[in-house]
Structure 1
Amino acid sequence: MSTLKKACSFCIYQERTQEEVREKLKSWHIPASEAEEIIAWLISENFINEGRYAQQFAGGKFRVKKWGRRKIIFALRSKGLSDRCIEEALAAIDEDEYRETLLALARRRKELLAAEESPLLTRKKITEYLVGKGYETDYIREALQAL
């Protein structure tokens, strides 16, 4: 199978970033100049679309893993995506759904914590959990007030 076909199959299987494809081509011992030509072709034929990748990644991490925007931003930046792609991906997350998810996480965490703990300690633990999930402190404050 030709390298181009293998690269196409690699991109069809799931969304990929340019960097992921570059690393895969490197692991196949493809020279850098040839790898860049392959990547350029994959982009021109829409096999690689980092905007689409960012939206699917952000939506999936939010819906499945319940990640907040801060954690999603960090993960997308670590994959080398542009700020524009990241902003567009985050804009696709529904604001109401985002707040509802945060509130549901806070409620669930409150239920898991022992009832005999002080309210201050409970609040601190909920806040730490939500910060770890990547939610912004303003939203966390709102959710804690709603509890």
Structure 2
Amino acid sequence: MNSVKTYTVEEAKRKLESYCAYQERCHQEVSNKLLAMRMIPEAVDVVIVHLLEHDFLNETRFAQSYVHGKFNIKKWGKQRLRLELKKRAISKYNIDVALKQISEQAYLETLDALAAKKVQLLAREKNTWVKRKKLADYLLYRGWESHLVYAKVAELVP
């Protein structure tokens, strides 16, 4: 007989409270966690409502925290941040609010630093076109807007 742990609604509430208190979570992560705990849909709804009412779960706060962390640590651009938040079913309003917290100056300074660092790593590359392509691909993959990327490539790899 396989022993699969089952949870009461109260146990699930306590477990998910600590899950959400440890780190900001989105609704999707909480739902997936509850489904992995083999909770029925009605119980999932009850637990999510409880977490919302007691401010353990807050989509706006999650989006702001996510953007802050990924921008400052991983140096992601707004395109990538928007895409990743959409994947997590965050509302357009909350995505926009979160992205507005990045100052234009900090955004452009981060792009400058990231591009300059990558150009140094590409210093051995002799072919200008290859160097341009590698720099552009790198910045686009990280989610920087194409008009900013191509302007930066033209500036750094003449």
TM-score bin, normalised by smaller chain = over 0.9
Deviations 1:65-107 (A, max 9, x none): 0111111111111111111111111111111111111111111
Residue correspondences, number: 147
Cα drift, residue 38 of structure 1: 1.1
> Residue 142 of structure 2 aligns with which residue?
133
Q: What TM-score comes out, normalization by structure 2 length?
A: 0.87
Cα drift, residue 55 of structure 1: 0.6
Contact 2:13–2:50 (CA<8 Å) still a contact in 1?
A: no
Please tell me whether Structure 1 or Structure 2 has the larger radius of gyration of its CA atoms. Answer: 2
Cα distance in structure 1, aligned partners of 2:142 and 2:29:
25
Cα distance in structure 1, aligned partners of 2:116 and 2:58:
37
> Residue 124 of structure 1 aligns with which residue?
133
User: Runs of 5+ in structure 1 lacking a partner?
Assistant: none
Answering whether residue 20 of structure 2 is matched by residue 15 of structure 1, we say no
Runs of 4+ in structure 1 deviating by more than 6 angstroms, as ranges, are none
Q: How does 1:30-49 map to 2 (within 5 A)?
A: 30-49=39-58
Answering whether residue 106 of structure 2 is matched by residue 97 of structure 1, we say yes
Q: What TM-score comes out, normalization by structure 1 length?
A: 0.93
Cα drift, residue 120 of structure 1: 3.0
Identity %: 35
Cα drift, residue 145 of structure 1: 4.4
